[in-house]
A and B are shown apart, each in its own frame.
Chain A
Amino acid sequence: MTLLRAGASAVEELLDKIPGTQLRVLVVWEPILWTDLKKPSGSILARLSDLRVVQFWDRNHVVAEALRPGLPQEGTTGIDGDRLSDEILWDDVAVYPPGPRWTDQPPQPNYFGGPVYDVIPNVREALDRLTTRGSL
């Protein structure tokens, strides 16, 4: 529990460090434990207070299911294969470059991994690569 909340807080800290970067963070809260009876309370949502954040409650893991087809197979650079074998994708983070749109299937992320708290440096690296490549 602590780590999951720490994961959200760690992302908030990361966003604080890159205030000028144009990005959108889509946060999807999904029930995993029996204690997740309802949508997250205001105090939990407040852990991600950056204005670039949009938050969702996904009771039926619709997003986790929809994201899976867009994820490459194990062994691809920037993809943590262990995370893909999980029955439900959760405590994961995906970084998408500017440009590709979600049509029938989601685009392929530049980076995918988790647990969120542990992979913050990798997310930062992926963001740095994208920002130096483009003019963001």
Chain B
Amino acid sequence: MRREAEPPRRIAALGFRRFGRSDDPLSRDHCRRNCECHALGQEMKFRRVALIVVIVAFIALAWYAWGPSHTPQGQPPLASLNNDNFSSFKDSFNEASDRIRIVLLLSPT
């Protein structure tokens, strides 16, 4: 017996609509593959986004850790104090002994 001509198949992954009988084993197979491809694509997209987030976070952290600490224009540069150069703070204090001095102790965050 001669088999009837089937309607044309089109592959969804290639952007075509797919036609065919629902009980066609080829149809189910293609559908499963398409679903797997879709899931794989989603996972790769998620990984790509996650990678971008990590890179941006790293750059932000690096900027925070090693970014510039410029004082406003007209002020001396920020001086880092330690036990060895603490006298520079005393010098600044004493150099202004002809005027009122305010010492502020603050935390950056």
Interface residues of A (CB under 8 A from B): 1, 4, 7-8, 11, 21-33, 35-42, 44-46, 48-49, 51, 53-60, 62-64, 66-67, 89-102, 106, 109, 114, 116, 123, 127, 130-131, 136
Which residues of chain B are near A64, meaning CB under 8 Å? 105
Interface centre among A4, A22, A24, A60 (most CB of B within 10 A): A24
Interface residues of B (CB under 8 A from A): 64-72, 74-76, 78-83, 86, 89-90, 92-109
Identify which of A48, A98, A123 contacts B97 (C-beta below 8 A).
A98
What 4 additional pairs, Cβ within 8 angstroms, besides A38-B66, A56-B81, A96-B103?
A8-B106, A25-B102, A98-B97, A99-B97
Nearest Cβ on chain B to A42's Cβ, whole angstroms: 4
The contact sample of 11 A-B pairs, CB cut-off 8 A, is A8-B104, A35-B109, A42-B71, A55-B71, A56-B78, A56-B79, A56-B81, A59-B82, A60-B82, A95-B101, A101-B93
Nearest Cβ on chain B to A68's Cβ, whole angstroms: 11
